[in-house]
Amino acid sequence: MSPDIVSQIIHHLFSIQTMVALVVGVVGGILVGSLPGLSATMAIALLIPITFGMDPVAGLTMLTAIYTAAMYGGSISAILIHTPGTPASAATSLDGYQMTLKGQGAKAIGISTISSMIGGMLSALALLFLAPPLSKVSLMFSAPEYFLIAIFGLTIIGSLASKSMIKGLTAGVIGLLIGAIGVDILTGYPRFTFGFPALETGVSLVPAMIGLFSLSQVMIQAENRGKNQGKKKALNIEGKVLPTWAEFKGIFATIIRSSGIGTFVGMLPGAGADIGSWVSYNEAKRFSKHKEKFGKGHIEGVAAPEAANNAVSGGALIPLLTLGIPGSAATAVLLGGLMIQGLIPGRELFTTHADITYSVIFGFIIANILMGIIGLLGAKYFVKVSVVSDAILAPIIITLCVVGSYAINNNVFDIWVMIIFGFIGYFIRKTGFHPAPIILGMVLGPIAERGFRQSVLMAKGDLLGFYFSRPITVVLMILVLIALFSPMIMNWWVKKGAGNFEESKSDGDVADNPAK
Amino acid sequence: MFQSILAVLLFLTTLVGCSTQDTATSSANPSEGPGSSQKIDYPTKPIKLIVSYAAGGGTDTGARMLTSYLEKELGVPVVVENKPGGSGWIGWGELAKAKTDGYTIGYVNAPAIFAGYIKPDSNRKENLESFEFIINHVVDVGVIAVRSDDNRFSTINDLIEYAKTNELTTSASGVGTENHLAALQLNEKLGTKLTSVQFGGTAESLTGVMGGHVDVLMAKVGEVMQAEKEGKLKILAVAKGERAAQFPDVPTIKEAVGADVEFYSLRGIAGPKGMDPLIVEKLQTAFENAMKNPEHVQKMSDLGLAIDGTKGEEYLQVLKDEEAIMLDFKDELGW
At residue B271, the 3 state secondary structure works out as: strand
Per-residue pLDDT, A339: 77
Residues of B in contact with A346 (CB under 8 A): 226-227, 229-230
What is the chain A residue with the closest CA to B123? A195
Q: Report the amino acid identity of residue B154.
A: S
Buried b (16+ CB within 10 A) or exposed e, A343-359: bbbbeebbeebbbbbbb
Mean pLDDT rounded to a whole number for chain B: 85
Residues of B in contact with A384 (CB under 8 A): 1
Mean pLDDT rounded to a whole number for chain A: 85
- The string of DSSP letters for B105-157 reads EEEEEETHHHHHHHSGGG-----GGGEEEEEEEEEEEEEEEEETT-TT-SSHH
Q: How far is A230 from chain B (nearest CA, A)?
A: 20
Cis peptide bond upstream of A3, omega within 30: no
Backbone angles phi, psi at B246, to 5 degrees: -70, -30
A268 confidence band (pLDDT: 50, 70, 90): confident
* Beta pairing partners, B142: B220
Residues 6+ positions from A371 with CB-CB distance below 8 Å: A26, A29, A30, A65, A68, A69, A72, A113, A116, A117, A120
Residues of B in contact with A52 (CB under 8 A): 68
Q: What is the mean pLDDT of residues A192-209?
A: 86
Residues of A in contact with B302 (CB under 8 A): 339, 342, 344
Residues of A in contact with B90 (CB under 8 A): 197-198, 409, 411
pTM for the full model? 0.81
Q: How far is A512 from chain B (nearest CA, A)?
A: 42
Helix, strand, coil distribution of chain B in percent, nearest 5: 45, 20, 30
* Contact status of A344 with chain B (Cβ, < 8 Å): yes
The enclosing H or E element of B269 equals strand B264-272
Q: What is the mean pLDDT of residues A154-179?
A: 83
Q: How far is A428 from chain B (nearest CA, A)?
A: 28
* Contact status of A45 with chain B (Cβ, < 8 Å): yes
Cis peptide bond upstream of B43, omega within 30: yes
Q: How far is A251 from chain B (nearest CA, A)?
A: 29
- Chain A, residues 296-315, CB within 8 A of chain B, namely none
Check pLDDT > 70 for residue A143: yes
Per-residue pLDDT, B127: 92
d(CA A92, CA A85): 10
* Contact status of A146 with chain B (Cβ, < 8 Å): no
Decide if the complex's ipTM is over 0.95: no
Residues of B in contact with A270 (CB under 8 A): 200, 204
Which is nearest to A152 in space by CA: A48, A61, A283, A243?
A: A283
Q: Report the amino acid identity of residue A126.
A: A
d(CA B217, CA B114): 23
CB distance A269–B65 less than 8 Å?
no
Interface test with B, best of A200, A203, A206, A397 (most B CBs within 10 A): A200
Is the distance from CB of A94 to CB of A161 less than 8 angstroms? yes
Check pLDDT > 80 for residue A504: no
Residues 6+ positions from A252 with CB-CB distance below 8 Å: none
Per-residue pLDDT, B56: 67
Per-residue HEC secondary structure of A218-260 comes to HHHHHHHCCHHHCCCCCCCCCCCCCCCHHHHHHHHHHHHHHHH
CB distance A188–B303 less than 8 Å?
no
CB distance B204–A269 less than 8 Å?
yes
CB distance B86–A384 less than 8 Å?
no
d(CA A458, CA B168): 9
d(CA A300, CA A250): 8
What is the chain A residue with the closest CA to B11? A28
What is the chain B residue with the closest CA to A339? B303
CB distance B7–A31 less than 8 Å?
yes
Which is nearest to B78 in space by CA: B88, B63, B67?
A: B67
Q: Report the amino acid identity of residue A373.
A: I
Check pLDDT > 70 for residue A117: yes
CB distance B213–A143 less than 8 Å?
yes
d(CA B78, CA B70): 7
CB pairs under 8 A between A and B: 173
Q: Which of A396-405, B7-16, B92-101, B112-121 is the most confident on average?
A: B92-101
| pLDDT tens figures, A392-406 | 888 988 998 898 888
Interface test with A, best of B4, B79, B125 (most A CBs within 10 A): B4
* Contact status of A450 with chain B (Cβ, < 8 Å): yes
CB distance B214–A142 less than 8 Å?
yes
d(CA B271, CA B42): 15
- Chain B, residues 11-70, CB within 8 A of chain A, namely 11, 15, 18-19, 22, 54-57, 60-61, 64-65, 68
A235 confidence band (pLDDT: 50, 70, 90): low
Check pLDDT > 60 for residue B24: no
Per-residue pLDDT, A296: 87
* Contact status of B210 with chain A (Cβ, < 8 Å): yes
Residues of A in contact with B203 (CB under 8 A): 269, 325-327, 332
- Chain B, residues 99-158, CB within 8 A of chain A, namely 115, 119, 121-124
Backbone angles phi, psi at B119, to 5 degrees: -65, 120
| pLDDT tens figures, A18-53 | 999 999 999 999 998 888 877 788 788 778 777 877
At residue B308, the 3 state secondary structure works out as: coil
A272 confidence band (pLDDT: 50, 70, 90): confident
Backbone angles phi, psi at A465, to 5 degrees: -60, -40
| pLDDT tens figures, A310-359 | 999 999 999 889 888 887 778 878 887 887 777 878 888 888 888 899 99
A67 confidence band (pLDDT: 50, 70, 90): very high
Is the distance from CB of A333 to CB of B214 less than 8 angstroms? no
Check pLDDT > 90 for residue A454: yes
CB distance A140–B211 less than 8 Å?
yes
CB distance B90–A346 less than 8 Å?
no
CB distance B86–A198 less than 8 Å?
yes
d(CA A426, CA A458): 42
d(CA A67, CA A339): 18
d(CA B301, CA B309): 15
* Contact status of A200 with chain B (Cβ, < 8 Å): yes
